[in-house]
């Protein structure tokens, strides 16, 4: 088949032909917000580690850099989801699965982390629900087991 008969999936015409479902946009927004929160938290740890008086400066700087690097996973997943790329569902699901125990630990703390943990837990469960929804999998072009040729 020629390129005239089959539009390029990355072309604007292909994006207009199949609008992105609201569920995919919502889960992309959740992943992007989680990524941005990791960047902000990592930057805060890094700045505090470099300018403040932490107990262990090396651990604070390493923790900050680690959080910033970890932010790449949900941010890349969000970008892929917005572009309806099937590969993006995997990193998005991994991000939510990792977020659940973090949310649990935050919700069990005796500090202001409790409301943040509850919000993170609700966001992660909502994102997981949206990611496994049949409308989302269809929009991302993901076929179930045994349906590769269909």
C-alpha distances (whole Å) from 127 to each of 29, 51, 101 are 9, 36, 15
pLDDT at 62 over 90: yes
The residues spanned by each domain of the chain are 24-83, 86-140
pLDDT at 82 over 90: yes
Report residue 52's pLDDT band, with 50, 70 and 90 as the boundaries.
confident
The whole-number average pLDDT for the span 72-79 is 97
Decide if 28 contacts 82 (C-beta within 8 A): yes
116-131 pLDDT, tens digit each = 999 999 999 999 999 9
pLDDT value at residue 9: 53
C-alpha distances (whole Å) from 42 to each of 94, 100, 113, 125, 134 are 19, 19, 16, 23, 35
pLDDT value at residue 3: 45
Give the mean pLDDT of the chain. 87
CA distance 108 to 87: 34
pLDDT value at residue 24: 95
Per the listing, tokens 């909502």 go with 126
CA distance 52 to 34: 26
The whole-number average pLDDT for the span 14-30 is 82
pLDDT at 91 over 90: yes
Per the listing, tokens 């690097």 go with 69
What's the token pair of residue 126?
């909502």
List, in order, residues 6 or more apart from 68 with CB less than 8 Å away. Answer: 38, 39, 42, 43, 46
pLDDT value at residue 7: 46
Helix axis angle for 89-107 and 22-51, nearest 10°, is: 60
Helix axis angle for 72-82 and 22-51, nearest 10°, is: 160
pLDDT at 145 over 60: yes
Among residues of the chain, what percentage have pLDDT more than 70?
Answer: 84
pTM > 0.85: yes or no: no
pLDDT value at residue 74: 97
Decide if 80 contacts 94 (C-beta within 8 A): no
Q: Which segment, 3-12, 117-126, 137-146, is predicted with the most confidence on average? A: 117-126
């Amino acid at each position: 088949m020629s390129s005239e008969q089959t539009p390029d999936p990355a072309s604007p015409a292909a994006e207009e032909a199949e609008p992105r479902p609201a569920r995919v946009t919502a889960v992309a927004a959740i992943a992007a917000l989680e990524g941005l929160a990791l960047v902000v938290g990592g930057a805060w740890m890094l700045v505090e580690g470099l300018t403040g008086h932490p107990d262990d400066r090396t651990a604070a700087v390493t923790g900050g850099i680690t959080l910033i690097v970890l932010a790449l996973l949900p941010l890349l997943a969000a970008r892929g989801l917005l572009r309806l790329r099937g590969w993006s569902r995997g990193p998005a699901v991994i991000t939510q699965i990792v977020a659940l125990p973090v949310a649990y630990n935050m919700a069990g703390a005796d500090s202001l982390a409790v409301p943040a943990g509850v919000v993170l837990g609700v966001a992660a469960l909502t994102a997981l629900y949206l990611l496994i929804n049949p409308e989302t999998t269809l929009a991302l072009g993901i076929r179930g087991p045994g349906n590769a040729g269909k």
